[in-house]
Structure 1
C-alpha cells in the first residue's frame, strides 16, 4: 500500500513538472521574435569593438656567447590591447556565411631577457599597430528564439605599421598570417543584432628579424637574436559585434 502511495506521489510530481515545463515552453514559443528576417539578407554590414591579448612564443637554440652567457626570452604577462573592426557578411546558405572584418589592433608587449648564468635581466617594450584583414567561414546553429550560437574559423593576415626603432635588442617582422578559430552568440535585439565573440589565433610564420645592419657597429647586441631559432605570436581576441 505504501509503495502504491509513493508511486502515486511520484506520478503526480512528474505530471506537475511536465505540466509546468509544457506551460513554460508554450510561453517561450509565444515570445516575440526580434528581427525575424534579418538572417535572410544576402549580405549585411556592421562593426565591432573589443580587446585582444597578444603573446609571443620563443624557441631557444641554446646559443652560448664568447663570455659564456646563455640568454632566455619570455613574455611574463599579458598586456591587453584595443581593437576596432568593420564587418561585411555574405550569406551562403541557411547555416553558413563568409565574413570579412578588416580593422586595426593597438597593443604592447613587454619582453624580458635573462642570462641564466649571471642572472642579468634586460627588458624591451614592443608596441604594435596592426592592420588586420580576417576572413572567416561562420557556421550558424539553429536559432532559438532570439539567440543563435555560432562557430567560425579562418585566416587573419596582419601588418604591423608601427615605426621600428633601430638598435632594439629584438626586432620583429612587420607581417604575419594567423589561423583563427572561435565561437560566439548572436543576440537578436529589437533594433540590431549584438554578438559577443571570442577567437583564438596562432601565427604561422617566424617573426624574428635576423638581418640587423643597424647593429653592425655593436655586434654584442646580436646575442639576443642569435639565441633564438624562431618567434611566433598568438592572440586571444574578445570582440562585440553590432550588426
Structure 2
C-alpha cells in the first residue's frame, strides 16, 4: 500500500515539475486554435487504486443453530491497494475562455482486498475476500483552466460521476450496491504537441452514498458467514485516478 501511495505522489510531483521546467520565454505555439472549437472529442487511458472506507459495528451477538448465543468482535478493513486500469472516451464543451464542461464515459477495472479480523477467541483469526470490481462511470466535470502559456495550460476540476457496479457475487462476505454516485476533484495540465494534445490528470473520487448492499445478507446461504457480513454497516467507495487524455 505504501509503495502505491508513493508512486502516485511521485507522479503528481513529476507532472508539477514538468510544468515548472518549461521556459518562461515565449515560443511558437503548437495547435494554437485547438481550444477555440466549441466541442471536441478524445480518448483516455490510465491507472487507479480503489479504496473502501468501512464503518465497523463493533461487538455483536450471534444466535447459533443449536440455540446458544455467541458474542463476537469482528473488525473489517482493506489491507492493501492494488493498481487498476481505466479506459474511456470524452467530449468537451467550451463555455468560455477559461471554463469547459466535460463528459467522459469510463470503465474502471480494479480490485479490493478485504480482511476480517475475528477477535472473539484468544487467537485472532482472519478471513479474506478479494473483491473484483468493474465500474462504468459517466462523470460530468467543470474544468477551470488558467490562461495558456506557450504549450501548456494547467487547470483544476470538480464534478459528479454516476456509476454502475458490474461486479459482486452472492457468495461474497460483503457486496456493494449496483448503483453509486461519486464526487470528484482534481488537477491536470494540457500539453500541446505538434500533432495532438495530451492531458495528464490526477483526481480523487469519493462515494456520496452508503455503497454497502445491506440486502446481500438475506441472500447468503452459508450462515457461518453472517457474523462477518454483519461486521460493517456502512461503506464508502474511493478512488485515486491518474488518467492521460489524448485529443
Q: TM-score range by the shorter chain?
A: 0.7 to 0.9
Aligned to 1:97: 100
Cα displacement (A) at 1:76 = 1.3
Cα displacement (A) at 1:213 = 3.0
Cα displacement (A) at 1:220 = 3.2
- Does structure 1 conserve the Cα–Cα contact (< 8 Å) formed by 2:204 and 2:240? yes
Q: Please provide the CA RMSD for this pair.
A: 1.4
Aligned to 1:221: 225
Cα displacement (A) at 1:233 = 0.8
Aligned to 1:20: none
Larger Rg computed on CA atoms: 1
Aligned to 1:59: 55
- Within a 5 Å distance, the mapping from 1:181-220 to structure 2 comes to 181-211=185-215, 212-215=217-220, 217-220=221-224
Is residue 40 of structure 2 the alignment partner of residue 38 of structure 1? no
- Within a 5 Å distance, the mapping from 1:98-113 to structure 2 comes to 98-113=101-116
User: Among 233, 236, 242, which residue is 1:238 paired with?
Assistant: 242
Cα displacement (A) at 1:224 = 2.0
Cα displacement (A) at 1:210 = 1.6
Secondary structure of the residue aligned to 2:60 is: coil
Aligned to 1:132: 137
User: Among 142, 148, 160, which residue is 2:147 paired with?
Assistant: 142
Aligned length: 215
Q: TM-score, normalised by structure 1?
A: 0.85
Could you tell me how far apart the structure 2 residues matched to 1:74 and 1:55 are?
10
Could you tell me how far apart the structure 2 residues matched to 1:174 and 1:97 are?
30
Secondary structure of the residue aligned to 1:51 is: strand
Segments of 5+ residues of structure 1 without an aligned counterpart are: 1-23
Bigger strand fraction = 2
Could you tell me how far apart the structure 2 residues matched to 1:230 and 1:166 are?
18
Segments of 5+ residues of structure 2 without an aligned counterpart are: 1-22, 63-69
- Does structure 2 conserve the Cα–Cα contact (< 8 Å) formed by 1:63 and 1:226? no
Q: Deviations over 1:15-59 (max 9, x none)?
A: xxxxxxxxx86xx22x11101111100010001100011100111
